[in-house]
Amino acid sequence: MPYARPDGTAEKLTHLPRLASWEKSTHPGQIRLLDYLSSTRLLLEPVLARLTGPLALRLDIGLPETIKLLDHHDLDNYLYPLAAHLRKQAGRDFVSVWATKYTGPDSFVRVEQARPVVFPVRSTIRTTVSSGKVGYKEQIRDQLTGVTVLPDGPVRLEVAFTVGPARSWTTLWKPTIDALGAVLGIPEGGRPWSPRDGRIDRLGLHCSVAATLGNDVLIDLAWSS
C-alpha cells in the first residue's frame, strides 16, 4: 500500500545529512553520522511524542553546487540509517519513507501520520528468495518484461512492498533498487546490479503486511522521468 508524501511543517536540520556507513564505530565518518542521527532524532522527538499509529518520514537533502546531483548520493542510503536510528532509539517504525535531493544549502525532515493513497503501478513483482541472495535480484530483473530504460535525467521512483509479519522491509530497499537496471539503466561496462540509481531525485518507499505471504514479497513499482 502506498502512502502520501508528507507535506506539513518541516524541521530544518542542524547537521548535514549523512549516507549510510559501514566503517568501525570509531571511524570519523561513523562519528559524524551518529552526530547527525542524534541531532535529527532530538528535532523530531516532540512530533513523535504527539503522533500515534502508522507514520511517514520525509527527508529533503540539500547538496552543494559542486556535487553532480544525479551521480551517486543514492537516496535509499540516506534514508536507511535515519529510519533505523529512529526505530532503535525512539522506538518508532515507519510504513512510508520519502527522500528528495536538490542543489541548495539547507536540508529538512518531516514526520506525519501516514495517509494511504493510490499510485499508478507500472509493474508488480513477486519474490520468493532471500533478499541477501542474488536470486532475489534476478527474480525482479526477470519479471520486468517489456520495460525500457528511462531517458537521461532525473527519475521519480516509488516502491510499495507487501511482506509477511516476520519480514524486515528495510533490508529490501537496496537489493530491490539494485535490480532495476531495466528502468534506470546500467553504466557502460558496469556491473548488472549497479544501476544508475543516483538519477533518482525523489524516492518513496512503502510497506504493508499480509500474514499469508510468509517469506514472499510483493513489490509494486511506479516510476517517471
Neighbouring residues of 28: CB distance < 8 A, sequence distance ≥ 6: none
Tell me, which fold does domain 11-113 have in CATH?
60s Ribosomal Protein L30; Chain: A; (3.30.1330)
Query: pLDDT > 70: what percent of the chain?
Result: 100
Asked if residue 177 has pLDDT above 90, the reply is yes
Residue pair 119/205 in contact (Cβ under 8 Å)? The answer is no
Delimit the domains of the chain by residue range. Answer: 11-113, 123-224
What's the pLDDT tens digit per position in 77-117? 999 999 999 999 888 889 999 999 999 999 999 999 999 99
Dist CA 187 CA 189 (whole Å): 6
What's the pLDDT tens digit per position in 41-58? 999 999 999 999 999 999
Per-residue pLDDT, 160: 98
First to last CA, the chain: 22
Dist CA 214 CA 209 (whole Å): 10
Tell me, which fold does domain 123-224 have in CATH?
60s Ribosomal Protein L30; Chain: A; (3.30.1330)
Burial of 45 (0-12, 13-18, 19+ CB in 10 A): middle
The single-letter code of the amino acid at 131 is S
* Fold agreement (11-113, 123-224): yes
Question: Which value, in Å, is the radius of gyration of the alpha carbons in the chain?
Answer: 17
